[in-house]
Structure 1
Amino acid sequence: MLRLSPLQVRQKVTIDDIFSEPDDLGLLVVEPLKIYSPTGNLPASRLEEINAFYVVHGRPPLPDSEEFKETLLAQRLRVLKDNKQYREMLQPFDIHGLLAGENNENTLASSVSFSVPPVEVDRSELVTSLDDIFADDDDGLLSFAEPDIFTLKHVPIEKKTQPDEIAKRQPCPDFYRFSPLFETIQNGLKTGTFSFVRFRHELKIHEGDFFILNGVMGYVDKVGERLEEYGPWNARLHLVFENGTEMNMLFLSLTHGLVRDTEGRKVVLNGQSIRPDEAPVPTGYVYVLATHSDQLALQRFKPDLYKIGFTEGTIEERIKHAEKDKTFLEAPVRIVMTTQCFNINTHKFETLIHGFLGKQRLNITLRGLDGQTYHPREWFHAPLATVLSVIKYILDGTISQYRMDNTTGKIVAKKDTGHS
């Protein structure tokens, strides 16, 4: 039989043998027992936060720290220390002697019944708030663009009970279009054709109305689309004032302002409000031009060669770059005639002009400064008297009583054929 030597006999291992061997993996390192505050004990919970800070930083929180959280903890520690009742109640939880002012590292060892080797505490075990979680995000798992909780979205806003004036008055760049309107109203007020009435809500305000607000006469040039976000009917108005200014104002702002103004008035015609179709609305200028072009192809049409056009602005602004514009034959022009128009339909005016002077329209091909050819469409070869007569009869509404004699190039009255 095989016999084992005594050295080959496996010796029994005891608990003491296990603890006496080197602990290379730190399996036997145990953190001291923590004393947790009972649920609902707010002072104890706050002291527990302060204890956790002390373990991490090795000192109590400082009141003059740049970190808001640290100064908050320092303030709470001061409150707990100054209250005798708190000091007595929290004595079992004051494991670092912070309430007694004993801030040394030996306090921890003396507060427990056995000694343990020093332990480096993992900060992840000291999570006491959301700030601790985000501060310990070493892998960047919590790095994202957080939404601004102070930006309200999809929250109904309480509607204003009284609309405000959105814009202030500013100079009206095309006041020349409206100046004759105010002159007409002022003359009518002097002769008694127009009069004022104290404004009331039931009078309403429409496009084309005149009013007095804060001592200044105003005119409702345009009424925008209805604004649905308001309960009562409301829209943006473009207002022009007699002093040469303009502004955009809400309908409700204007009517409320007229009611509040003790001198708020509305202009009426023979006891009736002026309606949009009764008010003379300026729409622009009709003009007749002659060319100074020296192109040979145009010489045979002179001097009875005229351009008839329509512009909403000034004539001078329209022809400012005539030398570069094929509309003006790329040459300087001379203003022969201009007249302001009211309540005129631009498209209808041009249709009538072209219909009466169709046979007299310039029908040639010209070469421009860029080398490209073009066909001028608004130049007519007709006597100046004929051109001016056509414009006059269109503007006064009697054009239907005349016709063009294409043989003579003159406009003549239609013969009365009697009853048919």
Structure 2
Amino acid sequence: MSDFMENGSPTPLSLDDILDGDVDGLLDAPDKPKKVTSSDRLERAFLEVVEFRRTHGRVPSSETREIAERKLGARLDGILANDQKVEALKHLDEFGLLDATEPPESLDDLLEGGGLDDLLGDDGGVLDVSDLPVHRKPESPDSVAKRVKAEDFEQFEHLFKAKHAELADGTFQLVAFTGLDLIREGVFFVLGGVMCFVAEVGEDVDLVVGGKPKQKQRLRVVFENGTESRMYKQSLMTRMYEQQGQVLARTGVDTSEIFDADVESGHIYVLQSLSEDSAISGLRDLHKIGFSTTSVEQRIRNAESSPTYLMAPVRVVADYRLYNVKPSALEHLLHRVFSAARLDLTQIDRKGRDYDPSEWFIVPRDVVNRAVAMIISGEIVDYAYDPALQQLSPRR
């Protein structure tokens, strides 16, 4: 029963009385939500793979045409390629998904394993291609681009590893291919279950197709199996539609804005000097490696008047667009990696002042390409250039 004061009014309750009377906990402060860590996200991603194994009784495949399963399969592939992630997830691996399998030591061992016999038996209809899309016959032999071995594949291998890792941790996801506008330099696709990368987009070429003039662009498409194709842009679009191809997009970005989440940081450029000075022209593999937030063409204007460019015209041999990278850190990293190969030369500018150019290095072009790829994948921090071996070697 409530207490009353002398005038008959209820006695005001104290704060302690109010809190003690809150039997339903209405006044309890809500628990502060726990911050989700990268470890939590990794475990959550792996548990989705585990749940698929529990539900379907098999490991998800990264090569199936079923989008949801292919995403889980690619995620598992990315985890298996990273020993640290495997170790961190072992306590959740109730089906042995992370157990290392011993590779066959010879072709005989592979054949004795019975795996090929099971495949050729085809009880599950794996080899039944009756439901696959019918490929249209090309209009001319020139439109056919066969895959050949990519001789410089080591320059791209790191990019594929990085993208598989980003698929595994959820930074990127696979989304449906929606049109020709998505085919541009630097974009990754999945075509026929194989990841591919548009390394180059050529100039417009005027062709006559079906009796009508038409502009087309040749691409250089590199596949993660070590092959490449010089197909036309429109040909890649056709194959993407026919084979229900997918594009890698940053998670959380709408398909219509698929690249808007990436912020262009600038360009890594590689230059060669056109100097007629024998002290410079006689140096093989001399390259200037730098970073620019503006176009490279704008950056090298009046190069012949600047000691930065050795007081001579230069030729652009590579121009890499970069996204989501801190410019100052990138430039410092490049110079640190190639510090042992820096050109030791003093230039005199037009005012007679001494100048030591700091961005010229004696490094083969293919090594520069590999370094750029390793910067994008993040591996470069553990490497440095060895001038004696002319290659990037692990830091000691």
Fold shared per TM-score above 0.5: no
TM norm structure 1 = 0.32
- Structure number with the bigger relative contact order (C-alpha 8 A, sep ≥ 6) is 2
Q: Which has the larger Rg? A: 1
TM norm structure 2 = 0.34
